[in-house]
Structure 1
Amino acid sequence: MAELAMADIDKWVEVFRQQIEQRNLPRGYRMESIRAAASRCGLSRYALTAVYERLEAMGVLEARQGSGFYVCRTPQAVRNSSSFPTDDVLDVALLIRGLLDRNDLVKCGSGTLPPDWLEELELSQHIKTVASLPATNVYSYGLERGFQPLLELVQLKLEAMQISVRQEQLMLTRGVTEALNYLIRALLSPGDTVLVEAPSYYNLIGLLRLAGMQVIAIERQPDGPDLQQLQEAIEQHHPKAFFLQSILHNPTGSSISPGKAFRLVSAAEKAGMFLIEDDIYGDLADPALIRLATLDQLDKVIYVSGFSKTVSADLRVGFIAASADIMARLSKIKLLESITGSEFVEKVVYHSLSRGNYKKHIDRLRTRLFDGRRELREVLLRHGWQCWGSDEDSSDSGDGMFVWTRHPDWSDSLELAQHAARAGLWVAPGKAFVTRDVSPWIRLNVAYNCPKLFDWLAQPGQKAGTSVSRS
């Protein structure tokens, strides 16, 4: 039913958009009332309201308090997201999917931890326990914002990070990717300029481009984004939002410094720009690291996180913390796109966090990742690889699961990834994380250290034929 509603909304948005573009509905024209238009179009009044609001977000309708919706007298250029180039995004996605589908490859560039690292949480036992509870709901919808006890646990988690938040400022989602998609729909319109980090999470770049955003990349430095470049982008392009990972950045593994975090929040406030803080890897970081949301208290910062990296990549549960006004918009979008999340899955995650040994689990993961980073960096530097942010020695103050690295003999990471695949390894090519055409960098996950990987790192160009010795 939700899919049919969204299809009808998309259909009527396009019908009205074309009528306005072709001047069949002239500038200044007062649109039919929501009741009358809903009846004529065969939609519910709620769905027709969503159509009008979508057209308003596109800049072709304007809402007048107490009067209704009108065609803008000086409408913005109507932008259809399908006209934006997405071939390169889709090509990278297909490449990554193709490599992942080869189950014989060791997934050394994965964005998740190996299953055996997570098994100590005894997730299967929690699933059985929740399934046996008399009150478990598997036949009907859950609550709009999500399972209340898990929301309360999230609230406590944020308060421990000194982020003051009320229940009406929280919402559960099916993972962080869904949360980001909701935020794109709630805050942005096709053609808006947004900022991302370079490098940046490849799914995010794809989501923004598919939504018709103008994407500008801000260079990531070891202590956070390049603030000089950021200020120039603000002055020249007036971006609506900046999507970033302040802590355990994917793919570099770096975290923002306190001083840079303070200056970034200040710059966003002056520019009227939202900061979308994606903290999906935050539980694996040093608890003392500061978040942007701690400094801002959910004014211009919208905080997104979840449990897919530390509990289960399949039982996807994420959450958004934002101002009450933004959360009201997000709730409407969630109802239209997915109605609710899975209460059963949310209960399982709650049970895993509240009844299990989650803190000890996280402490063990952090220790194993620290040892793995040190081991992998030593191997890389010994064999002539360059590790992002610190090439001189093997010292590394970072946490988390990623090492961002390159070999001087390879300028195109896509070719390097294909070479690794022939050796039985999947590494994440840098092209997937940047907006430019070519990148020499690859992402490695230290949880997948193994002799096969170390052997390949020792001779990455010896079987590459004519691909080596390029600058």
Structure 2
Amino acid sequence: MAELAMADIDKWVEVFRQQIEQRNLPRGYRMESIRAAASRCGLSRYAMTAVYERLEAMGVLEARQGSGFYVCRTPQTVRNSSSFPTDDVLDVALLIRGLLDRNDLVKCGSGTLPPDWLEELELSQHIKTVASLPATNVYSYGLERGFQPLLELVQLKLEAMQISVRQEQLMLTRGVTEALNYLIRALLSPGDTVLVEAPSYYNLIGLLRLAGMQVIAIERQPDGPDLQQLQEAIEQHHPKAFFLQSILHNPTGSSISPGKAFRLVSAAEKAGMFLIEDDIYGDLADPALIRLATLDQLDKVIYVSGFSKTVSADLRVGFIAASADIMARLSKIKLLESITGSEFVEKVVYHSLSRGNYKKHIDRLRTRLFDGRRELREVLLRHGWQCWGSDEDCSDSGDGMFVWTRHPDWSDSLELAQHAARAGLWVAPGKAFVTRDVSPWIRLNVAYNCPKLFDWLAQPGQKVGKT
């Protein structure tokens, strides 16, 4: 399935590339919308998006915020599509997004909580309340750094984590992905070497490769990154930055130990290397867990988080906390790329967080996730699965929404994910999180425990994955 889709993408990339080179599509021409082009070319919207993004990376199209894709006005050197460095990332992304688009699948590998788990926050009521306010801004730009009351709330949140931060060190973004993109542009140049964790999410690796980075993976251990590998990478490659999730790591669910956190911050300081700490799942963690930014106080550590996992995946609001010098650079990049965020959305998130029941909401989520992890691990253990970081069994409990698991009979979880889809389930295959070609691991989200999943987990002894 993925191979056929990628062949179609390659075909249409070449068709459009030739049309642009031959001036059949003139410079400055506005391309058809993704929906219209997908219908005309016989592709899915996701495949059509991949075609346009591939052409953008080749330097022949440019994306304009809120307007679409345009043929570049300035002539650029066009790279042959076969040399594009992120084909493997796009291949996996296409498969995963295609499966996610199927509404008939139970999203057992999702990176977000089910909507009914978030409904108690009464988001729809907050949206109505904000929309009715006389000062609601839906007609003009918001503020450069973001909605001021929400920035103040974020400042209080960080101070409660013992991260001392001033207003000029904070910026709101449209989610963590946009925050990471800003940081890549502000701190790095094409050809720079950066570090990621293994496993690590394909979207991060894709962003880095699209920006021309040399990406090196550092193995994630149950208590944090492998520091011996890290030191070797520092000595051999002199990386500019290390992108990692210290708390509730995706997909393993592990959190860094205090001792390793201290040594990691020390190593980064000696190497002159930035640590980009992505804490998007942090609100679901034990409040006592230590952050790298707490130890470093935003010197070499840049802290990124947001509210998409606990408020809404659609109302995307994230934030960056960094030194004042770095924030000055980030502000210019934000102004050039998107001018501002959506003040209306930022107000809705602020209203949701500041009306008194957010803490109770988080406490209930943590309790439900703890119970769900324990239940899922018991089922996995019963049927011979192995859970990462628990001595090859599934007896540990832990925090957060993820269980990273494998069955000893199967080496390729991509086959397993395709089999799960035929059974009505979506599980996240390991290839989405690692740089190797084949992985036996899958990510499961404990918030989606159900009899259908438990029945499927009982099948690997019957050679699940083979048809």
Given the two structures, how large is their TM-score scaled by the length of structure 2? 0.83
Residues 104/35 of structure 1: CA separation in 2 closer, same or farther (3 Å cut)? closer
Residues 221/69 of structure 1: CA separation in 2 closer, same or farther (3 Å cut)? closer
State the shift of 1:414 in Å: 0.6
Whether contact under 8 Å (1:6, 1:336) holds in the other structure is: no
Q: Deviations over 1:249-297 (max 9, x none)?
A: 0000000000000000000000000000000000000000000000000
Q: Distance in 2 between matches of 1:45 and 1:36?
A: 9
Q: Distance in 2 between matches of 1:112 and 1:404?
A: 15
State the shift of 1:45 in Å: 37
Whether contact under 8 Å (1:6, 1:337) holds in the other structure is: no
Q: Secondary structure at the match of 1:395?
A: coil
Cross-structure match for 1:94 = 94
State the shift of 1:147 in Å: 0.1
Q: Distance in 2 between matches of 1:458 and 1:238?
A: 46
Q: Secondary structure at the match of 1:312?
A: coil
Cross-structure match for 1:348 = 348
Whether contact under 8 Å (2:2, 2:94) holds in the other structure is: no
Residues 53/273 of structure 1: CA separation in 2 closer, same or farther (3 Å cut)? farther
> How many pairs are equivalent?
467
State the shift of 1:16 in Å: 24
State the shift of 1:196 in Å: 0.2
Residues 30/190 of structure 1: CA separation in 2 closer, same or farther (3 Å cut)? farther
Q: Distance in 1 between matches of 2:259 and 2:330?
A: 31
Cross-structure match for 1:417 = 417
Cross-structure match for 1:53 = 53
Whether contact under 8 Å (2:182, 2:334) holds in the other structure is: yes
Residues 302/47 of structure 1: CA separation in 2 closer, same or farther (3 Å cut)? farther
Whether contact under 8 Å (1:79, 1:190) holds in the other structure is: no
Whether contact under 8 Å (1:81, 1:211) holds in the other structure is: no
Q: Distance in 2 between matches of 1:411 and 1:6?
A: 23
Q: Distance in 2 between matches of 1:404 and 1:28?
A: 47
State the shift of 1:460 in Å: 2.6
Q: Distance in 1 between matches of 2:36 and 2:238?
A: 39
State the shift of 1:26 in Å: 30
Matched, 1:17 2:14: no
Whether contact under 8 Å (2:46, 2:94) holds in the other structure is: no
Whether contact under 8 Å (2:33, 2:68) holds in the other structure is: yes
Structure 2 stretches lacking a partner, 5+ long: none
State the shift of 1:409 in Å: 1.1
Whether contact under 8 Å (2:190, 2:211) holds in the other structure is: yes
Q: Deviations over 1:81-115 (max 9, x none)?
A: 99551110100110011100111000000000000
Q: Distance in 1 between matches of 2:50 and 2:392?
A: 55
Residues 137/7 of structure 1: CA separation in 2 closer, same or farther (3 Å cut)? farther
Structure 1 stretches lacking a partner, 5+ long: none
Q: Deviations over 1:107-150 (max 9, x none)?
A: 00000000000000000000000000000000000000000000
Whether contact under 8 Å (1:84, 1:210) holds in the other structure is: no
Residues 178/71 of structure 1: CA separation in 2 closer, same or farther (3 Å cut)? closer
Q: Distance in 2 between matches of 1:393 and 1:66?
A: 48
Residues 54/417 of structure 1: CA separation in 2 closer, same or farther (3 Å cut)? closer
Residues 128/433 of structure 1: CA separation in 2 closer, same or farther (3 Å cut)? same
Q: Secondary structure at the match of 1:10?
A: helix
Report percent identity of matched pairs.
99
Whether contact under 8 Å (1:306, 1:317) holds in the other structure is: yes
Whether contact under 8 Å (1:146, 1:346) holds in the other structure is: yes
Structure 1 stretch 385-394 or stretch 180-189: which is displaced more? 385-394
Structure showing greater radius of gyration is: 1
Structure 1 stretch 10-19 or stretch 269-278: which is displaced more? 10-19
State the shift of 1:243 in Å: 0.1
Residues 296/229 of structure 1: CA separation in 2 closer, same or farther (3 Å cut)? same
Residues 100/53 of structure 1: CA separation in 2 closer, same or farther (3 Å cut)? closer
Residues 226/43 of structure 1: CA separation in 2 closer, same or farther (3 Å cut)? closer
Residues 374/195 of structure 1: CA separation in 2 closer, same or farther (3 Å cut)? same
State the shift of 1:36 in Å: 40
Whether contact under 8 Å (2:386, 2:393) holds in the other structure is: no
Q: Distance in 2 between matches of 1:82 and 1:164?
A: 48
Q: Secondary structure at the match of 1:252?
A: coil
Q: Distance in 2 between matches of 1:332 and 1:297?
A: 23
Whether contact under 8 Å (2:57, 2:210) holds in the other structure is: no
Structure 1 stretch 32-41 or stretch 341-350: which is displaced more? 32-41
Structure 1 stretch 306-315 or stretch 407-416: which is displaced more? 407-416
Q: Secondary structure at the match of 1:314?
A: coil
State the shift of 1:436 in Å: 1.1
Whether contact under 8 Å (1:57, 1:189) holds in the other structure is: no
State the shift of 1:210 in Å: 1.0
- The runs of 4+ residues in structure 1 deviating greater than 6 Å are 1-82
State the shift of 1:381 in Å: 1.0
Residues 380/131 of structure 1: CA separation in 2 closer, same or farther (3 Å cut)? same
Whether contact under 8 Å (1:174, 1:318) holds in the other structure is: yes
Whether contact under 8 Å (2:169, 2:321) holds in the other structure is: yes
Q: Distance in 2 between matches of 1:188 and 1:168?
A: 22
Q: Secondary structure at the match of 1:404?
A: strand
Whether contact under 8 Å (2:168, 2:327) holds in the other structure is: yes
Whether contact under 8 Å (1:82, 1:210) holds in the other structure is: no
Residues 42/340 of structure 1: CA separation in 2 closer, same or farther (3 Å cut)? farther
Residues 31/341 of structure 1: CA separation in 2 closer, same or farther (3 Å cut)? closer
Residues 38/239 of structure 1: CA separation in 2 closer, same or farther (3 Å cut)? farther
State the shift of 1:226 in Å: 0.1
Q: Distance in 2 between matches of 1:307 and 1:293?
A: 18
State the shift of 1:201 in Å: 1.7
Residues 179/66 of structure 1: CA separation in 2 closer, same or farther (3 Å cut)? closer
Residues 110/9 of structure 1: CA separation in 2 closer, same or farther (3 Å cut)? closer
Whether contact under 8 Å (2:2, 2:91) holds in the other structure is: no
Q: Distance in 2 between matches of 1:249 and 1:379?
A: 22
State the shift of 1:395 in Å: 3.4
Residues 147/80 of structure 1: CA separation in 2 closer, same or farther (3 Å cut)? farther
Residues 52/386 of structure 1: CA separation in 2 closer, same or farther (3 Å cut)? closer
Q: Deviations over 1:36-62 (max 9, x none)?
A: 999999999999999999999999999
Q: Distance in 2 between matches of 1:422 and 1:36?
A: 30
State the shift of 1:462 in Å: 2.4
State the shift of 1:202 in Å: 1.7
- Over the residues paired in the alignment, what is the CA RMSD in angstroms? 9.5
